[in-house]
Amino acid sequence: MTSRRRAPSANGPKTPARQILPDSPPPQQSPLTSPEELKITVSSSKWLKVLSLSSLLLLPYAYLLFFHLKIDAEIKRSILINAALSFAGFLFTLRLIPVASRYVIRRNLFGFDINKKGTPQGKIKVPESLGIVVGIVFLVVAILFQHFNFTSDSLWLVEYNAALASICFMILLGFVDDVLDVPWRVKLVLPFIAALPLLMAYAGHTTVVIPKPLIPYVGLEVLDLGWIYKLYMVLLTVFCTNSINIHAGINGLEVGQTVVIASAILIHNVMQIGAATDNSENQQAHAFSIYLVQPLLATSLALLSYNWYPSSVFVGDTYTYFAGMTMAVVGILGHYSETLIIFFIPQVLNFILSLPQLAKIIPCPRHRLPSFDPQTGLLTGTWDGTLVNFSLKFCGSMSEQSLCIFLLALQAIACGFCFLLRWLLAGWPKHFQIEYMKFSKDDEVVASSISPNT
Ligand code: UD1
Ligand code: MG
C-alpha cells in the first residue's frame, strides 16, 4: 500500500523507530519523483541470482519429468503445453512490470523500503502492488490452457473454473487491501470470501487417508470428515494467504518463499503421477495441480527478478494473497493439503511466533521488521515475534540479502523434510500407491465418474 495513504491506527499502535508514518511529509530529496523518470530494469547480477535459484529448484523437477519417472504420454503433453504457455507468461510479466510500475507510481501507489531507512535508497518511491501484473498474466495463461486440455464435458472443468474464480476474487480483494489498507481483522476474513466459489463448486470427497503407521491406532484406513472437511478447506485458505503475507518485509522474501514452495509442489505432483500405475483420479488431481502451479512459478520468477534485493518493485498484498490462495486451492483439489502444510513449516513457525501480537496480547506495530543500521548496512533482530527477527537473534546481525537467502534455504529444508517424512510415513512410493488404490475402490462413484481425458 502507498506510504501516504495508510491509516495510522489501522493495524495497532506504532513503534516510532522503525516505520514510515503515513502522514509524515514526503522525503526532501526523492531521487525518483516523477513516473517518467522511473526506469525499472533487471541488473545482470540479479539475473544471475534468479537464474541460479530457478535452476536449482527446477532441475530436479525436469529430471523426474523427463528421465526418471514413467509419465503417461497424454499427461506429459498437457504438462509441456502448460509449461510453454507459462514461459510466455514469464516473458509477458517481465515486459509488463516496468510499464505497470509507471502507472502505479502515477496513482501514488508506492512504498518506502523500510530496511534501507537512513540511506539514499530508503528515500526512493518503490512502486507497490505489482502482484496485480502477476495475477492477471497468471489468469490469462490458466484460462488459455483450458483450450488445450479440457473438453466441455470434462468434470475437472467445473473445479478448474471454481479454482480460477477463487483466485481471481482473491486478487481483487488483495488489490482492494493495497489501495484501501484495510485493518488487520478485515484482512483475516478476506480469504473466507474469496474461497466461496471453490467451496460451492467442491464436489470431491471429504475423506482423508490415515498414514500407515497410525492405522492400528485409529482403526480406519480412510476417515470421512463430512462438513468438517469443508471448514478445514476454508481455514486452509485463510492460513495460506495470511501466513505468506506476514512472513514478509525483506526484499525478495514474499516471492522467494512462493517460488521455493511452488517448486516443491511440482516435484511432489510429478512424483505422485509417476507412482500411480493407471490414469487414475489421483494422477488427474496431481496433473490439475501442475497446470496451476507452473504458471504461478513462471510469473513469480519474473516478479522476483525485479523484487530481489535491492527491490525495484514491491509485490503488495495483491501478490501475497494471490500466491497463498493458489497454493491452497491446488492443495485442496489435488488432495495433498497435509503435505502442503508441511511445506509451510516456516510460515507455521512465523504464525506461532506472531500469535501474541496478532491476538493483541502484546502491542502489534504496523510493521514488525528488524532494525536497520545505515552505518553498517546490517539488520538486527527486534522483539517483534517473527521468524525474520528470530533468525537474526539466533544467527546475529546480517545484510538483508543474506537474511533472505537464509530464510529461503530454511524454506527449502522444510520442503526436503516433508519429502523425507512422507517417505517414512507412507513408505512412498510403493505403500502409498497401494493405499491410494484401496481408497479409490471405496470411493467408486468419484473415481469412476472422472473421465481419463479430463
Ligand atoms: C505485513 C506484516 C508487517 C510487515 C509487512 C511487510 C504482520 C501482522 N504484518 O503487513 O509486520 O512489516 O507485512 O510487508 O506481520 N516493505 C519493505 N521491504 C520489503 C517489503 C515491504 O520495506 O521488502 C514495506 C514497504 O514500505 C511496503 C510495505 O512494507 O510499502 C508493505 O506492507 P504491507 O504488505 O501493506 O503490510 P501488511 O501485509 O499489512
Ligand atoms: Mg503485505
Q: Please write the tens of the pLDDT for every residue from 298-322.
A: 999 999 999 999 999 999 999 999 9
Atom of ligand 1 nearest to the CA of 114: 22
pLDDT at 165 (0 to 100)? 95
Q: With cut-offs at 50, 70 and 90, classify the pLDDT of residue 440.
A: very low
What residue's CA is closest to ligand 1, atom 19? 249
pLDDT digits (tens, 9 = 90+) for 367-382: 999 999 999 999 999 9
pLDDT digits (tens, 9 = 90+) for 117-156: 999 999 999 999 999 999 999 999 999 999 888 766 677 8
pLDDT digits (tens, 9 = 90+) for 221-240: 888 888 888 898 899 999 99
- Residue 43 is given by DSSP the state -
Q: How much is the average pLDDT of 57-78? A: 88
For residue 127, the cross-strand partners are: 110
- Residue 398 is given by DSSP the state B
The Å distance, Cα 326 to ligand 2 centre, comes to 16
Rounded CA-CA distance 320/175 in Å is: 10
Which 3 state secondary structure label does DSSP give 429?
Answer: coil
pTM of the model: 0.86
pLDDT digits (tens, 9 = 90+) for 191-216: 999 999 988 888 777 877 777 777 88
Cβ count near 100 (within 10 Å) = 20
pLDDT digits (tens, 9 = 90+) for 392-420: 999 999 999 999 999 999 999 999 999 99
Q: Is pLDDT of 74 > 80?
A: yes
18 CB within 6 A, ligand 1: no
Q: Is pLDDT of 280 > 60?
A: yes
The Å distance, Cα 320 to ligand 2 centre, comes to 6
Please, which residues have CB within 8 angstroms of residue 413's CB and are 6 or more apart in sequence?
Answer: none
Atom of ligand 1 nearest to the CA of 245: 38
Rounded CA-CA distance 401/367 in Å is: 19
367 CB within 6 A, ligand 1: yes
The Å distance, Cα 358 to ligand 1 centre, comes to 15
Rounded CA-CA distance 302/90 in Å is: 6
Atom of ligand 1 nearest to the CA of 2: 30
User: 24 or 43, which is more confident?
Assistant: 43
111 CB within 6 A, ligand 1: yes
pLDDT at 15 (0 to 100)? 34
> Which ligand has the minimum distance to the alpha carbon of residue 367?
1
User: Residue 394, exposed/middle/buried by CB under 10 A (0-12, 13-18, 19+)?
Assistant: exposed
Return the percentage of the chain with pLDDT > 70, whole number.
Answer: 84
249 CB within 6 A, ligand 1: yes
